[in-house]
Copies of this chain bind each other. A is one copy, B any other.
């Protein structure tokens, strides 16, 4: 039930020491060190410490017009990909003396707009955004604002702004090429029905790999799952494919979530991977450990993605320019795609 204690300000220290606030400010910020007597500096520092002084960042920000804060908006914080990404971004930002404040748009357009506004109101120095679906107009509006930003993981190809993303096309093509090299010709694709560019690039990579190998595209082997309630869709998609007269020998899942749900179903049905069907997917999670076969998958360079996005943003803040980065995925080959 203690009364609210007032925080110590520069003024308090100045009074205590018997100098002006200006001097205190100079000392505590290590400015004009040549012009300040050692003893006074020492005294100021020690009283600041004694009085437990901490800079009021709000006041500093108002004057300097900098907050040393980056805003991070991820699409879904409950997705391990994003929580890892957030962590790397935080670390990289901290190394450059920035704090990250972050929030999740939960793949929701309205929430995304709110968050952008909240962050702008708080005068963040810059934004890192993994944009939710259909938020292109929001990003376009952001371009007209004063605040630097970088997209990450997802982007809009016709929007000229900075971003860091996986080269999804080449990653997916690599994955499917691998399946082809392993002797599979009937290769199914399970992906989301979406306007997301990055997801559709995965499909394009799949198609490209088939075409270059001269394998005809079979529409029955391509299934697009509704994002709203994917679980039953995935089950049905896999079931349908397995029931085809010419069933695929291999499946490419375009996201980890699709893969997990697909595997759960395959296991329920007692279908042996890779003997009856070979599998390649995206990303790793601790869940994969629970299936008996170690998965072949595309590993995204999450750390690098976070680091680059942060670095580019900070560069942007200090000196305006845009930069687009495509990072390569790495195909990690494991049992799930290799038949002996």
Contact = CB atoms under 8 A, between A and B. Distances in A.
Q: Count the copies.
A: 2
B83 A78 contact: yes
Interface stretch (A28-36, A84-92, A166-174): A84-92
A90 B104 CA distance: 9
Contact of A320 (B2, B267, B289, B320): B2
A120 B54 contact: yes
A216 interface: no
A59 B57 contact: no
A67 interface: yes
Interface of A: 1-7, 54-59, 61-62, 67, 69, 77-78, 80, 83-84, 86-87, 90, 99-104, 106, 117-118, 120-123, 145-146, 260, 263-264, 267, 286-287, 289-291, 320-322
Contacts of A101: 101-102
Classify the interface of chain A: helix, strand, loop or mixed: mixed
Given A101-B101, A103-B100, A104-B87, A4 B122 contact: no
B86 A77 contact: yes
Contacts of A120: 54
A291 B55 CA distance: 52
A122 B90 CA distance: 16
A56 B54 CA distance: 23
A146 B58 contact: no
B104 A118 contact: no
Given A5-B146, A54-B121, A264-B290, 7 more contacts: A1-B322, A55-B121, A77-B87, A90-B103, A264-B289, A286-B287, A287-B290
B62 A59 contact: yes
- Find the residue from A103, A104, A263 having the highest chain B CB count within 10 A: A103
A321 B3 CA distance: 10
Contacts of A90: 103-104
Given A5-B145, A320-B1, A57 B99 contact: no
A77 B145 CA distance: 31
Nearest to A101: B101
Contacts of A1: 320-322
Nearest to A103: B90
A212 B129 CA distance: 55
A104 B87 CA distance: 8
A58 B77 CA distance: 27
A21 to B, nearest CB: 16
A320 B118 contact: no
A178 B138 CA distance: 53
